[in-house]
Structure 1
Amino acid sequence: MADDRGVFPGQWALSGGGVESGERIEEALRREIREELGEQLLLTEITPWTFSDDIRTKTYADGRKEEIYMIYLIFDCVSANREVKINEEFQDYAWVKPEDLVHYDLNVATRKTLRLKGLL
């Protein structure tokens, strides 16, 4: 679950983030996973899947808000394990069975992605 800041405060979200200058997309994905979910989670497969875009309001730690344009590059990822250690951007995490997803307050982007995958 996302912290009370960022683009989807207080809602359940898939891990994600930005691409830094000079960084390739897969490098950015692996870095964001390491930063948000810890060094122990090992991705064994990364397959590009789809993309979408949106305009969202981002809330910063100081309470400031900004409208931002987002491009979602969405990948199918397979991990060798489930060892997760979340960072300060999240309050909690969960491994969820598809049939249980309806019980979570998912942000709009996560809901859209899971619908496209046939999981909602």
Structure 2
Amino acid sequence: MRQRVIVCPVIQNEGEFLLCKMASDRGIFPGQWALPGGGMEPGETMETALRREIKEELGKELHITDVKPWAFRDDIRTKTYPDGSREDIYMIYLIFDCISTNRTVTFNEEFQDIVWASPDILKYMDLNEATRITFSQKGIL
């Protein structure tokens, strides 16, 4: 089984959290709302990987000021590829609290949509399991 170390930013701006709706035909959680993030590359520090993933997935205009390591955890997930094939992956999540000074986002093909969500509406959203666990551990859900 393949192993991936995933950097995951919990991005907040003016009390709301940035969530991304995953494309329905790919990924670990197709069609569900998720926190952004992705795998570390060889030779990267955690913060370098985090900032690279934010730029790749959300564009260069989103300005992140504060980055603080928050938690880590692991699990096994099944990834679905665009061709329909599937793979079990051992995931190690490195989760960071991040503050953005703006909401300028240009998301890539991994996502169908983005939203800035207040804590009171998170419980009504179709959050993927990993995101739900993160917000529960933070005491938000």
Which bracket does the TM-score occupy, shorter chain normalised? over 0.9
Equivalent residues in 2 for 1:53-92, closer than 5 Å: 53-92=74-113
Question: One-letter code of the match for 1:111?
Answer: R
* Structure 2: distance between partners of 1:29 and 1:20: 10
Q: Per-residue deviation at 1:54?
A: 0.6
* Structure 1: distance between partners of 2:67 and 2:136: 20
Q: Per-residue deviation at 1:62?
A: 1.1
Question: One-letter code of the match for 2:137?
Answer: L
SS of residue in 2 equivalent to 1:68: strand
Q: List, as ranges, runs of 4+ consecutive aligned residues in structure 1 with deviation greater than 4 Å.
A: none
Aligned residues: 120
* Structure 1: distance between partners of 2:123 and 2:70: 23
Q: Per-residue deviation at 1:74?
A: 0.4
SS of residue in 2 equivalent to 1:100: helix
Correspondence for 2:22: 2
Provide the TM-score with structure 1 as the length reference: 0.98
Report which structure shows greater RCO (CA 8 Å, sep ≥6): 2
Correspondence for 2:140: 119
- The question of 1:19 aligning with 2:34 is answered no
* Structure 1: distance between partners of 2:139 and 2:94: 18
Question: One-letter code of the match for 1:42?
Answer: H
> Identity, % of aligned pairs?
62
* Structure 2: distance between partners of 1:87 and 1:21: 23
Give the structure with the larger helix fraction: 1
Provide the TM-score with structure 2 as the length reference: 0.83
Query: Over aligned residues, Cα RMSD in angstroms?
Result: 0.6
The answer for unaligned runs of 5 or more in structure 2 is: 1-20
Q: Per-residue deviation at 1:66?
A: 0.2
Correspondence for 1:51: 72
Q: Per-residue deviation at 1:34?
A: 0.4
* Structure 2: distance between partners of 1:96 and 1:22: 34
* Structure 1: distance between partners of 2:43 and 2:64: 22
Equivalent residues in 2 for 1:95-114, closer than 5 Å: 95-114=116-135
